[in-house]
Amino acid sequence: MSEMAALLGESGIRVVRFEFPYMAVRRREGGKRPPNPQAQLLDCWRAVWREVNEREPGAWAVGGKSMGGRMASMLADELGAQALVCLGYPFHAAGKPEQPRVAHLAALSTPTLIVQGERDALGNREEVAGYLLSPAIRLLWLAAADHDLKPLKASGFTHAQHLRSAASAIADFLG
């Protein structure tokens, strides 16, 4: 995410980054910690939104990587976000494609860009084609890329190329 924030910054897009509480504990103490309950994650997002808007009111896009993007997608309409950008959206939990996490995406009205790897284990191109998604959602598929947008070496693409492509598409999407 640091590299993506830097690439977006080069395009003139200001990025505010934050950590969910469980991620901050992981960073400080190491090891794996389970995510906070969904209600706490959503409250954390709302608190960041309020803080950013108090400091600098205006039209803001929301987004994130994986679960951060999923939480942002659940709040985008509520918050009145200008746009939503998700990188590596977790359309379902690992190994559980029969339990999609997409119900709220069918009614989403916020203009949305989801950047997804074609071979993402949490939602590949074939799986996602079967989901009912709002017409407000645009998908950008990165060739041979996984959940972290890293391509297979044999594809001829590099992770850096995919990140640059994603940043360029995000900049175009946000205008």
CATH number of the structural domain spanning residue 73: 3.40.50.1820
Burial tier of 42 (Cβ tally within 10 Å: 0-12, 13-18, 19+): middle
User: Does the pTM exceed 0.75?
Assistant: yes
Task: List pLDDT tens digits, range 104-161.
Answer: 999 999 999 999 999 999 999 999 999 999 999 999 999 999 999 999 999 999 999 9
Domain, as residue range, for 145: 2-174
Q: Per the structure, how many domains does the chain have?
A: 1
> In the sheet that 112-117 helps form, which strands lie side by side, from edge to edge?
61-65, 83-87, 112-117, 137-142
Given a cut of 90, whether residue 33 has pLDDT beyond it is no
Task: List pLDDT tens digits, range 70-90.
Answer: 999 999 999 999 999 999 999
